[in-house]
Amino acid sequence: MKKILNYANLILCLGLIVACTKDFILKDIKNETVSIIAPADNLSTPNNNITFWWDELDGAEKYNLQIVKPNFNSISQLYVDTTITKNKFSYTFTPGTYQWRIKAINGGGSTVYTTRTLIIDTTSNLNLVSVAMIAPASNTVLANNNVIFSWNQLPATTYYELLITSSTGSVTTVSNIPTTSYSYIFPVSSGVEEKFSWKVKAYNSFSQTQNNLPRSFRIDHKSPSFPSLAYPVNVTTVKDSGAFRWNYSGIFSDIKFDSLFIGTYPDSTLTNPIIIVVPRAATNTSTFSIKPTLASPTNTLTSSNYYWWKVKSIDSVGNVSAPSAVFKFKLMN
């Protein structure tokens, strides 16, 4: 009986020794390779969030994953060099061409690297680009409430979104625009001038463009201030070498040209005047002048006669000011 117990103990001890020895014997994986599930080699994708996935290798304790740009033969940047114990790893890329490789490791050594190429498609990923806006251009002044917005097309765009902000702070958002233009009618009343800004973004199923710088424009239904007559003053006599002069209410007011009306005495209402269109000086001066002899190629002012005169201002979108006061003068040699 005692011998039987000794044999049993011996067998038990041998079993424990074999089990322990098995735990310390590492599998040689040097001639193995890691089998990759995803992404496929040379994959070109617009999706910039990639999950790397591979089969677990028998005998592996961990894995070393490296990602570079553009390839391992000519590395411009190392993005990832990490050791993990699981068989999945996610990373978010910017557009471009990359190479990645993976190997399995245990205490006895490692496999060779398995290398793959990955392309993040720059034409489909909108995250790093913005929409080029066309019209209305910055600081445009418009006379029509119906404004047509336009911009350049971006490839791989599903729809565009237009954002319009008024000077009062209200924001209008128009989404799901399928084309590169959109017509919008603004509720700007007669006699009112209002400023707006606009910008546009492009979207697809997984990305959107960056915010572009907003462009401002004005819808102008407000007439400019009427000019103030400066010379000749009312009820005065002037020489032919003199000049008509008038003042603007502001140096930078939006005046495109003035209409000078000259009528013969006693027509103080100027029902049948000589009309001279005077472009505004490019220097934005607050005073403009024109000599009487230039009044009209077919109508010459006659010496010793009385005349009436007034001026109206017209802005860049055609709004006309109220007339100035009407002054009387006599032209002398």
pLDDT at 6: 55
User: Tokens 């919008």 map to which residue?
Assistant: 184
Q: Say what the alpha-carbon torsion angle 131, 132, 133, 134 is, to the nearest 10 degrees.
A: -150
Residue 208 is classified by DSSP as B
Q: What is the pLDDT of residue 37?
A: 96
298 pLDDT band, cuts 50/70/90, is very low
Candidate CATH numbers 3.40.50.10140, 2.40.30.260, 2.60.40.10, 3.40.50.720; the one for domain 228-332: 2.60.40.10
Tens digit of each residue's pLDDT (9 = 90 or more) over 82-105: 999 999 999 878 778 999 999 999
Does CATH number 1.20.1730.10 belong to domain 133-220? Answer: no
Do 253 and 224 contact (CB within 8 A), yes or no? yes
Q: Where along the chain do its domains lie?
A: 36-120, 133-220, 228-332
pLDDT at residue 22 in the model? 43
Higher pLDDT residue, 193 or 2? 193
Cβ(323)–Cβ(262) under 8 Å?
no
Distance (Å, whole) CA 48 – CA 96 = 10
Q: How confident is the model at residue 280 (pLDDT cuts 50, 70, 90)?
A: confident
Return all residues near 67 (Cβ < 8 A) that are at least 6 apart.
78, 79, 80, 81, 91, 98, 99, 100
Please tell me if the domain spanning 36-120 has the same topology as the one spanning 133-220: yes
Q: How many CB atoms lie within 10 A of CB 28?
A: 11
- Ramachandran region of residue 57, left (φ > 0), alpha (ψ -120 to 50) or beta? beta
- Residue 199 in contact with residue 215, Cβ under 8 Å? yes
Report which of 164, 87, 156 is spatially closest to residue 128, judged by C-alpha positions. 156
Distance, CA of 151 to CA of 226 (rounded, Å): 38
User: Global pTM?
Assistant: 0.56
In this structure, whether the domain defined by 36-120 belongs to CATH 3.40.1190.20 is answered with no
Collect all residues with Cβ–Cβ distance below 8 Å to 293 and sequence separation of at least 6: 240, 300, 301
Q: DSSP character for 42?
A: T
